[in-house]
């Protein structure tokens, strides 16, 4: 998934604000659903972030066109661990993250449906 | 209401991102409720923004401590027009806005309750 | 310009947070530059928002794919007035705004360069 | 440091958007400077986030008044590891994070000045 960096994503340091990389990664996770004609939010069923480990390697700047890549590295009944990396147009890794997401139904852990597992 | 400008509020231009002034004004409107022990969001009743007219006079910068002032300029059964201004520590007006907010219950216009009118 | 609505754009009311529509419009203005191979931020030259008048007609929701349309309605030496509308996939107008942007060089009003005027 | 949760901090899930906890923690780090009459951003000197490990324990909701607590757990010449936790009004831990921040001067690692170390 390609994401352009706009003014709103940057801060007075001239680069992308640190928490914004998490937003980019979340957009990429959501877009995996959208491209399959599914929604990441089905009534009272959706994923939530449980934990994450993030490394900031190089700064993204205004106007950069970023590439966000996502893959599953661990799969359990009601949760996934994903590895996500953000690269710039020169294919330099700017940011990497391992994020554990849990699937909830009515705010309780719930087995991830088959059609959703197939997305990843 | 006093609001500090943090990194997240600024952009690569070095000043507060233009839509962030609207957030500051919304915080000030919400805080009017909180200081009276009320909530701006009661089940399916809350205000929504219908229209606004905003003037950007001078930029707020990182670390500024802003003062947001709110007053009612027009009151109808189910809506209010508020005037909000944002000042810096030197009492310079940075931003001013007239915003019309409508009171909704179950997503439909609804008469503003007496105790809420008393806040403003 | 097409913009997808992600979680980050919504608030607890279940719809897009009111100031986020301004961000969408700013992305659309910036993208006009990018599609022409230009940047909206050239050293110390860029546009800033001077004033805006916005109408909230219908709410955008999570997962909506929005269309942002921009046209010039007034052109002066160092400023433009743009009309921007946001539509959903059913071509319903959700939001419309008139925004005055001023061109600055070193934080002072400056004649808009010809190649930038040609974008709009 | 106390932080109120406003609409802008929440998402359509009805709770605080996951990356927003990082913003709250950054505000708390900046506020440590402000309360000592210092600025976290001195010309070309400031901290940047290098890595973080975050755990989401319980959700913060609209109108919550959060308490952010920060302590140093490791101190090097040009970087710090901080532990930050976010609690709600019932003193429940909602979020905890270990964040490594590096001190930069002109975008290069630089020894943290004594008066800044004293803040933490």
The chain D residues in contact with chain A (CB within 8 A) are 12-13, 18-20, 22-23, 26, 41, 46, 48-56, 59
* Predicted confidence band of residue A43 (pLDDT cuts 50, 70, 90): confident
Q: Which residues of chain D make contact with A46, given a CB cutoff of 8 A? A: 13
Q: Where are the alpha helices (DSSP H) in D1-120?
A: 20-34, 114-117
Confidence of residue B89 (pLDDT cuts 50, 70, 90): very high
Using 50, 70 and 90 to split pLDDT, how confident is the model at C14? confident
In the prediction, which pLDDT does B14 show? 86
Read off the pLDDT of residues B33-82 as tens digits, 9 standing for 90 and up.
999 999 999 888 999 999 999 999 999 999 999 999 999 999 999 999 99
The span from the CA of B15 to the CA of B58, in Å, is 10
Q: CB–CB of B32/B119 below 8 Å?
A: yes
As a whole number, mean pLDDT of residues C34-49 equals 92
The residues, ordered by sequence, that sit 6+ positions from A76 with a Cβ below 8 Å of its Cβ are: none
Cα C8 to Cα C31: distance, rounded to the nearest angstrom: 20
- Domain map (residue ranges) of chain B: 2-117
Q: How far apart are CA D107 and CA B65, in angstroms?
A: 27
- The percent of residues above 70 in pLDDT, for chain B, comes to 100
Q: What fold, for C2-117?
A: Thiol Ester Dehydrase; Chain A (3.10.129)
Q: How far apart are CA B80 and CA B47, in angstroms?
A: 9
pLDDT of C2 strictly over 90: yes
Catalytic status, residue C64:
no
Share of chain D above pLDDT 90, in %: 93
**Mean model confidence pLDDT for chain D:** 96
Mutation site for C-interface testing, chosen from A23, A30, A48 by largest number of C Cβ within 10 Å = A30
| pLDDT tens digits along D33-88 | 999 999 999 888 999 999 999 999 999 999 999 999 999 999 999 999 999 999 99
Tell me the percentage of chain A whose pLDDT exceeds 90.
93
pLDDT number for residue A109: 96
Distance separating alpha carbons of residues D80 and D117, to the nearest angstrom = 9
The CA-based diameter of chain B, rounded to the nearest angstrom, is: 44
What stretch of H or E contains A67? strand A65-75
- pTM here is 0.96
């Amino acid at each position: 998934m390609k994401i352009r960096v706009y003014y709103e994503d940057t801060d007075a340091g001239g680069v992308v604000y640190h928490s914004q990389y998490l937003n980019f990664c979340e957009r990429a996770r959501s877009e995996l659903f959208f491209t399959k004609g599914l929604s990441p939010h089905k009534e009272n069923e959706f994923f939530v972030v449980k934990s994450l480990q993030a490394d900031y390697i190089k700064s993204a700047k205004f106007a950069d066109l970023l590439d966000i890549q996502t893959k599953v590295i661990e799969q359990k009944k009601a949760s996934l661990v994903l590895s996500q990396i953000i690269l710039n147009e020169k294919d330099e890794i700017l940011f990497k993250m391992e994020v554990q997401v849990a699937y909830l139904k009515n705010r309780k852990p719930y087995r991830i449906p088959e059609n959703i597992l197939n997305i990843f």
